[in-house]
């Protein structure tokens, strides 16, 4: 019985650590991707998770898809296939060199 009293807090500590280091960041990332997908607008430059670069041409609400204009023409992708990280990196303003 005394052994159970010392393992229970340790077990709860392990669960708390897993929540804060694994589950919570994943939920935050999913929320960020959902906001990004909802805030897409025509003319945005994006990169898909497969690496296709393009500009948002139109949306298909029926298919929950995005129509991208690429060098190869117009291609339809699911909204979920647009990469948040790569698209933000693509649209980030270029850093200016302060060394002159």
Tens digit of pLDDT for each residue in 48-96?
Answer: 888 899 999 999 888 889 999 998 899 999 988 888 877 777 777 766 5
- 95 DSSP assignment: P
pLDDT at 15 over 80: yes
pTM over 0.75: no
In a domain, 23, yes or no: yes
CATH number of the CATH domain containing 63: 2.30.30.140
In angstroms, the CA 70 to CA 89 distance is 18
Model confidence at 14, pLDDT cuts 50, 70, 90, reads very high
The pLDDT score that the predictor gives to residue 66 is 92
Enclosing domain of residue 30:
1-39
Angstrom CA distances, 9 to 3, 6, 15, 19, 24, stand at: 11, 6, 10, 15, 21
pLDDT at 100 over 50: no
In a domain, 99, yes or no: no
Q: How many domains does the chain have?
A: 2
Same domain, 54 and 73: yes
**Order of strands across the sheet that contains 53-60:** 45-47, 53-60, 65-70, 73-78
Q: Look over the chain and give the mean of its residue pLDDT values, rounded to a whole number.
A: 84
The pLDDT score that the predictor gives to residue 95 is 62
Same domain, 71 and 34: no
What mean pLDDT is predicted for residues 8-27?
90
Same domain, 2 and 30: yes
Which tokens sit at 87? 């698209």
In a domain, 100, yes or no: no
Same domain, 82 and 45: yes
In angstroms, the CA 19 to CA 70 distance is 41
């Amino acid at each position: 019985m005394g052994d159970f009293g010392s393992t229970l807090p340790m077990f709860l500590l392990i669960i708390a650590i897993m929540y804060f280091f694994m589950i919570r960041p994943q939920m935050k990332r999913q929320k960020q991707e959902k906001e990004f997908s909802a805030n897409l607008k025509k003319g945005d430059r994006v990169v898909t998770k497969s690496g296709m670069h393009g500009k948002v041409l139109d949306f298909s609400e029926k298919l929950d898809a995005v129509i991208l204009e690429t060098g190869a023409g117009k291609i339809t992708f699911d909204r979920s296939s647009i990469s948040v990280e790569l698209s933000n990196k693509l649209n980030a303003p270029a850093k200016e060199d302060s060394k002159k």
